[in-house]
Amino acid sequence: MNKSLEEIQNIYFIGIGGIGMSALARYFKFLGKKVAGYDKTPSQITVDLSELNIEIHYEDSVDNIPDIFLNKEETLVVYTPAVPKDHNELSYLIDNGFSVKKRAEVLGIITKDVYTLAVAGTHGKTTTTAILAHLLKESGAKVTAFLGGISENYNSNLILEGNEVVVVEADEFDRSFLQLYPDIAAVTSMDADHLDIYEKANALEESFMEFSSRSKDHLLVCNGLPLSGITFGVNDDSDYCAQNIKINNGTYIFDLKTPHKLIRDLHLNLPGKHNLLNAVTAFAIAMLYGSPTNTLAKALFSFKGVQRRFSYKIKTDDLVYVDDYAHHPTEINALHQAVREMHPDKKVLAIFQPHLYSRTRDFASDFAKSLSQFDQLLLLDIYPARELPIKGVTSDWLLGMVDIKDKKLVSKNDLTKEILNSDAQVVVTIGAGDIGEEVSSIKEALLA
């Protein structure tokens, strides 16, 4: 089928509850297409999509696909690479000649003829993209943004203000970002990750280099990465650099040095040096796009963050509860730095759910070091996502490497009870699996 996206009437999603997939589903629904899909389990995202009259089912069976979507001349099937190869619906649709595309390929088609700002990196891309989208929207740009998380400002992973410019998170998983055509691209980090896909760290690096070569107008790179472009950083010799950094009541106040001028007294209400770097990146991209500096400064101050990225659930003098999506040792280190900087001298309880057997195996000693920085640890079983178990790779095995006395393996059923038994003044839930579904009940129990 060679129809354009404008001509296609029906879009069917396999893995519709994924953060990137659900943004596309919302986008096509907004355009007036018929949208439906499958996901493995219900979640808040699928509930929200259902409220938009998007039909979703949770059993992998061709019989559950609504009849209208079985018209292959009118239907585009979009799937996430996280879906297993033996998925019944996906296999049927491929075997019967439907037009089937990966999510990234569809994003590539959407962005091909629109001015595109793309943010890539193993860490930082979701928050940077969300800040950038907010900066552009608040400064009057007609922007469409596909976010990899739920923006606290808009309670959505999609911003639809017009089609002058597209902001997109460029995902390195499965080399997805090589489907994009960015005019301005940024690379925030290139730490080894997704070794189940890339196998070797230098293959991941090569992939980032290929992505970088696709930017048409400007390439921004975090200072120190093995790429040549406009640099950004914190307290260094970067082209765009945060300087004179102060913290006032949980807010960063800093000056931004640019190649042309010094912008004084910018305010950022997100904790952690990593978020300062994310803000510098987003601000630099917005300036290169041509947004006026004075409106950007106001917009940065009003940015509230991204759900599950250092999200305060409770913040009182006696008790703090933070929820975070960190699932790589570097991210846990950044989270730990932010917690200690914002809440010094307080006992911190970390609750961690490892994500993927392969990632746990590949970074086990780094995970152990990261988790050993906390005062107390409750460790949940590994969240398998798309993987089958790997012999010997368990949470119990990981726990044995963690170098603190106060550590324990817990089940989800016992989690709340164990948290309430702790005397920690700061509680942090960490992980990219389904631990996010426990947050509201943990918060409720802590406040009871």
Q: In the chain, which residues fall in CATH 3.90.190.20?
A: 311-447
Q: What pLDDT sits at residue 355?
A: 95
Residue 45: closest CA among 19, 26, 80 = 19
Tell me: pLDDT of 404 over 80: yes
Q: What superfamily does domain 10-101 belong to in CATH? A: NAD(P)-binding Rossmann-like Domain (3.40.50.720)
**pLDDT per position as a tens digit, 275-327:** 999 999 999 999 999 999 999 999 999 999 998 888 899 989 899 999 999 99
Q: What pLDDT sits at residue 250?
A: 75
Q: How far is CA 205 from the centre of its chain?
A: 20
Cα separation, 76 vs 73, in Å, equals: 8
Q: Which two tokens stand for residue 5?
A: 């996206």
Q: In the chain, which residues fall in CATH 3.40.1190.10?
A: 112-301
Q: What pLDDT sits at residue 90?
A: 97
Q: What pLDDT sits at residue 194?
A: 46
Q: How far is CA 277 from the centre of its chain?
A: 16
Tell me: pLDDT of 347 over 80: yes
The pair phi, psi for residue 121, each rounded to 5°, is: 150, 145
What does the mean pLDDT of the chain come to? 92
Stated pTM of the model: 0.83
**pLDDT per position as a tens digit, 121-171:** 988 899 999 999 999 999 999 999 999 889 999 999 999 999 899 999 988
- Percent of the chain predicted with pLDDT > 70: 97
Q: What superfamily does domain 311-447 belong to in CATH? A: Mur ligase, C-terminal domain (3.90.190.20)
Q: In the chain, which residues fall in CATH 3.40.50.720?
A: 10-101
Residue 254 and residue 301 in contact, taking contact as beta carbons nearer than 8 Å:
no
- CATH number among 3.30.70.20, 3.40.50.300, 3.40.1190.10, 3.30.930.10, domain 112-301: 3.40.1190.10
